[in-house]
Structures are given as structure tokens and as C-alpha cells.
Amino acid sequence: MGITITGVTKKFGAYPAVKDINLEIPTGDFVALLGPSGSGKTTLLRLIAGLEGLDTGSIIFNGVDFSFKNVKERKVGFVFQHYALFKHMTIFENVAFGLKVRPRKLRPSRSEIKDKVLELLRLVQLEHLADRYPSQLSGGQRQRIALARALAVEPEVLLLDEPFGALDAKVRQELRHWLREIHRKLNITTVFVTHDQEEALEMADTVVVMNHGKIEQIGSPAEVYERPANAFVYSFLGRVNEFRGAALYNDVAIARDSAVEAVGYIRPHEIGLSRFSNGVGIPAEASHVNAVGSTVRVVLKRLDTEDYFEAELTSGNFRELGPFHKGDILYADFTNIVVFEAITDSEHSKEREKVTVGAFSAFT
């Protein structure tokens, strides 16, 4: 089922959670709503589900206006962040719930319900847990049951709120493949919310990047990663070095007297490092070298502005370069730098700063 969202706004008190959202989701698409916390992505998901009422705009499902229809009429499957499994029911009863609460005329017979539930449990590979209670399951198993329960009502849209947020890294990795696989099999229009850019880029057909209640960019993972629409999208999708002021003007030739402040971003792996200056490189001193695994991460200090930045190279390139150590001087090539207009809105720049600082602190 296709979803058309037009001019949707939602306020909580005076706080605008989403502002004038326009989004077209084609049938069968697998969409990630990606953004930092407070970006409005969960609110948008809940608006689609009908779990929140919208202030303005419309939400149209396959040409039918659903803006003011209640949750029940929308035929959406919703997987809650903390799963919201019914604690006092067994796994079987949880999955069967949506079928058992149907009005008598539409309710399948007992044996039909049983077949359907077992089929779903097979789909999520947890048939053997039918008689357990949610408290006896691991986080990953609960997640799969929550999905099976949502699928039991044969929804035309599947909505997942931070589906893997509460799981550890290994389980998360497994479930990503598994969820893609389910989507391939059932081909239900699926929208999920995440703050993890890796998860969004790896799983989704379409990534919707959100910030401060607005959509920053919509596109395929490749599009948003390769051609970010603005500074926020660039800095949010992966690790970045940020240069502004003197550092930036040393790297690229742009008019200094430009009315708007410029800011430059470059991803660690896009920085070229060499032993010798070849005219373009900026001299920098290696202050920390981490050569574990297939990539080598280096923190360097620019000698011209004393700013720190992070570079990343493959272990092959590292060997080619001749292994260097802390204190060695290298020349960094910033030709791949991308320059954006700095966002003047103080709130925005604060948010962005947090993102870049985060990228570094994860490293150092």
C-alpha cells in the first residue's frame, strides 16, 4: 500500500515535533526514517500509525484519506521499541491476539487461528517457544515475536520503531538480514525508525533523513551518502572532519569575504596521506595511530592551525606508505573536502557540533 503524506505538522504543547512533512512512500518500499533523537522520526511513524493525531496536513493510504481514521481502521502493523508484548500471555496467545479480538463474524475459527499463528512462528523461526512467556525470551526473540504478532493481522503497512535499539551488536546484525529477508518474502510496505546511519544505509531502499522535525533529504542509501543535500546530512551519515575559518581557507580556494560563513567536511577515508609534500598537502603530525584490524585510524594535528583531524586508511595503504608512528610528520590532501554554507540557526549548529564531536570521541 502506498502512503502519501502531505503538509503534516504535529505539536506537543508549544513544541513542534514534526513540521510540514511531505513524503511519498510507494507500495512495497522499505523506508528508513533516520535522524538524531528529537528529530521527530518516531512522531512521524506514530502519525502514520494513527497513534498520534495530526494538527494539519493529510495522510493518504492508496488514495484514501486516513488522516482522521482511528488506529484500528488503518490496518497497520506496529512493532514497538520495547516490543510491548503482553506479559501475562504466552507467545502463542500474543501472536493470536489480533485474530482473537476480531468481531465474531470476521474471526477465524480456532484451528485457523492456530494454523496461522504456527505459520507465523515458523516464519520468525521460534515455533518451539509457543508456550513460553515473554519474560523467558531473549531480547532478539522478543523482537521477532513482536514482529510475528504485528504480521498476524495481515497489515498492509508495517511500522517499526527503533526495531533493534535495545539489542546488542551481534544480535542486531543478524536481525537486520533477517528483517530484509522477511520484507523480500512478504513485500509489505515497511517503514522503520532508527538513529543508526549504518542500519539505515544497509537495510533500506529509501532513506529519509530527518532533523528538528523536518526532512533534510530523501533518497536511496547511495544517493544520500554520496550526494548529501546539506551539511547536516553529510555529517550525520558517517564520520567526518569539520573545518571552518582559517583551516578551511588553507584547504580550498573560496572567497574569504563571502557573506555567509562556509564550513568544510571531509570523511576520514577521503583524506590522502603522504610522506612528502607534493604541493597540495598540509603538514600534520600523527598524534595517535590505531592499526588494529583492516583499517588504520590516525589522529593528526595540523601544523598550520593546530586543529586535530582523523584519517582512515586501509592496512594495505598503511603498509605501502611505510608504517609511521606517533610524532611523524605527514602531508594530508584535503582535495575531496565538501563545502557547505554554515547553518546560522544556533540550534542547528549545536546539534551538528554534537554529531562531529561524537564521531571523534568514539575514536580517541
Partner 1 sequence: MVKQSKRRRVLPGFGLSMGYTVIYLSLIVLIPIAVLFLKATTISLAEFWETITDERVVASYKLTFYTSFVAAMVNVLFGTLIAWVLVRYDFVGKRFVDALVDLPFALPTAVAGIALTAIYAPNGWIGQYFEAAGVKIAYTQYGIMIALTFIGLPFVVRSVQPVLQELDQQYEEAAATLGANSAQIFFKIIFPAIFPAVLTGFGLAFARALGEYGSVVFISGNMPMKTEIVPLLIITKLEQYNYGGAAAIAAVMLVISFLLLFLINFWQWRTARKHQVT
Partner 2 sequence: MIAREHVHLKSPGASRFALAPIKKWLLIGTALGFLGIFILIPLIAVFTEALKKGIELYFAAITEPDALSAIKLTLITAAIAVPLNTIFGVIAAWGIAKFNFKGKNILITLIDIPFAVSPVIAGLVFVLLYGSNGVLGPFIEANNLKIIFSVPGIVLATTFVTFPFVVRELIPIMQEQGTEEEQAAITLGASGWQMFFRVTLPNIKWGLLYGVILCNARAMGEFGAVSVVSGHIRGLTNTLPLHVEILYNEYNFTASFAVASLLALLALLTLVFKSFLEWKTKK
Q: Which residues bind partner 2 (CB under 8 A)?
A: 49, 51, 71-72, 76-78, 80, 82, 84-88, 97-98, 101-102, 149-150, 152-153
CB of 53 to partner 1, least distance (A): 4
Contact range with partner 1 by CB under 8 A, out of 48-56, 170-178, 264-272, 324-332: 48-56
Determine if 70 is a binding residue for partner 1 (CB under 8 A): yes
Side-chain half-sphere exposure of 328, counting CA atoms within 13 A: 17
Question: In Å, what is the CA distance from 68 to each residue of 53, 58, 71, 130?
Answer: 7, 9, 9, 37
Which one, 70 or 135, has the nearer CB to partner 1? 70
Stretch that binds partner 1, among 49-57, 97-105, 110-118, 178-186 (CB under 8 A): 49-57
Residue 55's binding partner, choosing from partner 2, partner 1, none, with beta-carbon cut-off 5 to 8 A by kind?
partner 1
- Pick left, alpha or beta for residue 344 (phi over 0 → left; psi -120 to 50 → alpha; otherwise beta): alpha
Q: What is residue 128's DSSP assignment? A: G
The residue among 80 and 360 lying less far from partner 2, judged by its C-beta, is 80
Is 15 a binding residue for partner 1 by CB under 8 A? The answer is no
Least separation in angstroms between residue 50's CB and partner 1 is: 7
In order, the DSSP letters of 19-43 are EEEEEEE-TT-EEEEE--TTSSHHH
Distance (Å, rounded) from C-alpha 260 to C-alpha 248? Answer: 14
Nearer to partner 1, 51 or 60 (CB): 51
- Those residues whose C-beta lies under 8 Å from the C-beta of residue 243, and which sit 6 or more positions away, are 251, 263, 264, 265, 266, 307, 309, 334, 337
Question: Residue 356, SS3?
Answer: helix
Question: Which entry of partner 2, partner 1, none binds 52, CB below 5 to 8 A by partner kind?
Answer: partner 1
> Which of 40, 50, 221, 268 is the binder for partner 1 (CB under 8 A)?
50
How far is the CA of 206 from the CAs of 26, 86, 200, 227, in angstroms? 10, 32, 9, 14
Q: Is 328 in the site for partner 1 (CB under 8 A)?
A: no
Nearer to partner 1, 52 or 205 (CB): 52
